[in-house]
Structure 1
Amino acid sequence: MAIGVVAGIVLAAILALIGLFKLMWRVAEPNEALVISGSTHRTEGIGEGMGFRIVTGRGTLVVPGVQAVRKLSLDLNETQLNVDCVTHQGIPLRVKGVVIFKIGDDLVSIANAARRFLDQQKMMPERVHIVFAGHLRSIVGGLTVEDMIRDREKLTGQTRAACGTEMEKLGLIVDSLQIHEIEDPTGYIKNLAMPHAAAVQRDARIAQAEANRLATEAEQTAFARMAEATRDSEILQAGYQAERDKAAATARQAGPLSEAAARQEVVVQETRVAELEAHRREQQLQADVRKPADAAAYETRTRAEAERDARISAAQAKAKETELAAAAEATRVTTAATADAAATEARGLAAAKATRATGEAEAAATQAKGLAVAASAKAKGLAEADAIKARAAALAENQEAVVAQQLAENWPAIVEAGAGAFGNVEHMVLLNGAEGMSEMFAKALTMGGTGLGLARQLLASMSQPAAPGSAADTTPVNGKTASASHQIPIADA
């Protein structure tokens, strides 16, 4: 009894150990990696303190409740590329392809991928598409359409090289990158291939025409030979038939006509000879004249047909070339005319604006100048009127003071007029020196009331308006009033 209990306990313990072992033991499949977190681990090639452990291709013990185990798939993934790009020539293209990638097998790549995609493995194709689309647009922007068509491997290699660093940071490696198709919505690639396709089509048509010519020539030769054989056969058959008929007639007329037959044998033989001779001559004419003539005629006709076909092909090609050149020239002339019209319109608008601005500025300047001249003339007239009014008032109040002031202002003219009295004196003797000269000059000024008359004339010229054309007439010149010189008679000494 005790032994059975002990055996049951031992068996239960063994089963519990087995169950606990199965619960703690985790095995990584060949296409997955186990990421175990929950304690600090040291992983070879990564360093210490990573915070999680990576297990691939083997089993490991996991403490339930302390450590967490999650799986990271190492299967292949793919993402379809459908990227709109613009080439170096400014031509829009759509590049289609496929990228096949996976998480790297080394621990560094698995660790990088685990940090980024452990809970978002379904987002990996989208992220990879974003990376490749950006680099693909950048690379296509530096290439031409011709480069992409002739060297597609170059585009693929540059794209893989550009994305390699970023994919390595994500823990991913690219197994394959294929560019399936380059779509051209503008038709540039089709237009690029049209000259080559036209040249191939032209060569094909020429080759077909040459083959048709050779076939027709061979057929005609065969037909001629068939006709010749038929003719020879009919001639031979006719000769054989004549011989058979002759034999039959001879047999029928063997009795009563034997003698006539004998006589006619010579004629028959002669006729036979003549027929044979005619047949020989006919054969000779066929061989010497008709056959060479037929061959020459056939050769001439065939050459004429070939030259006609060649001229037609050349004329069609020339017409197509002329049509394309005319279309290109028309496009160029239209573009140039449009550009010249736009430039002429812009220049006309600029000239009109400049002319308008110049006219407005000149009009403003002329208006300002006229206003200034008018204001100046008005101010000068007012000033002269005020001056005349002031002189009139001064003469009314103190005539002697005004006369004295005017005499003082005009004294040089008075002295000059008095000195004119000595203009006709050739010799003068002064007995008392300077005093005699002063007395002589005073007498000259006062002789016959000359000085007093001059003073009165000056006073009259200031107090009364001068008549036009008189000696005291004042005329404004350049804004100033000039007095006419007075002639003062002085008696000769």
Structure 2
Amino acid sequence: MPKGHHAKGAYAGRGTLVLPGVQAVRKLSLDLNETELQVDCVTHQGIPLKVRGVVIFKVGDDFASIANAARRFLDQQKLMSERVHNVFAGHLRSIVGGLTVEDHEIEDPTGYIQNLAMPHAAAVQRDARIAQTEAEQQSFARLAEATRDSEILQAGYQAERDKAGAKARQAGPIADAAARQEVVVQETRVAELEAHRREQQLQADVRKPADAQAYEERTLAEAERDARISAAQAKAKETELVAAAEATRVKTAAGAEAEATRTRGAATAAATRATGEAEAAAAQARGLAQAEATKAQGLAEAEAIKARAAALAENQEAVVAQQLAENWPEIVRAGASAFGNVDNMVLLNGADGMADVFGKALTMGGTGFGPARQLLASMNQNGQAPKEASPLGGLAQKVPMDEK
């Protein structure tokens, strides 16, 4: 086999041209080879065995086998037997592991395997005896069953024979009864035909006219009902259209009224705002005028008080007399009020006593004339009264109020 070539470099049984220095030639034996196997194995039952065997092998004559063998063993042909031994030893262990002891042809000089097989043989014999007993029992059962079936068949045959004899004896009466039954059947059929004829006559004379009249009435009623339904639907449609038109009108009127209300509201709001602004301006003007008037009145009153004070300083008696004259009715009323709580009064001297009492009451107001004069004399040049209290202080203070 030339070195450096593969498919084209393997040749079996013939020669080829070799280029020296470029190619080399090596030979691979294609003879049969033999190797012995002696392997320790364990069976499927877990029994260890020492198994011996012989393997005969060779390289195949086809190109693929020669090429594979050359790649593996061309330089190591002496190790081919050892490697083949190892490969087949593994295969043998795998094969033995799937078998039982009984599947092997084994030499057993010590009787170990035979002893191992004895329980199995005993079990086989026991099963055989049990099977034989069961077979005998089944045979007896089948025999009894066959006997029973035979007796049942014989009884059935006898019953059929008895039944046939009874039928033969009853043939005459049965024939008579059958004849009478046929007569009854025929009479019944005639009656049924007559009843059917009468029913057909009733159908033609009564039921069909009644059905026709009922159909006519039902048709008229349905037509009237449909007419009422159509009228009601038309009325409902008309009412719906009228209601829709009225709703549209009301909606339009409501929209117009709402718009008018909004317009009036806007105008009213504008007028109210203008009125409020005018009233506010008027109130402000009135307030200013009132303030000016109050100020002028205060100044006038101050001038009047000042003038009265000056007049009092010049002519005290005349001013006091004038004030007393102006307030004389009040003074008399105040003096007479002392008699207002008197229920009964006893007067002495008659009419003179009455005149004396009323005269004193009327002249009570004159008692303040002297103190008033003293008060006026004590006033300063500015027209102010002194700080000390005076019996006529109320009268002196009332004078400007009366003037006011």
Question: Shorter-chain TM-score category?
Answer: 0.3 to 0.5
Normalised by the length of structure 1, the TM-score is: 0.28
Normalising by structure 2, we get a TM-score of 0.33
| Between structures 1 and 2, the one with greater helix share | 2
When Rg is computed on C-alpha atoms for both structures, the one with the higher figure is 2
Higher strand share: 1
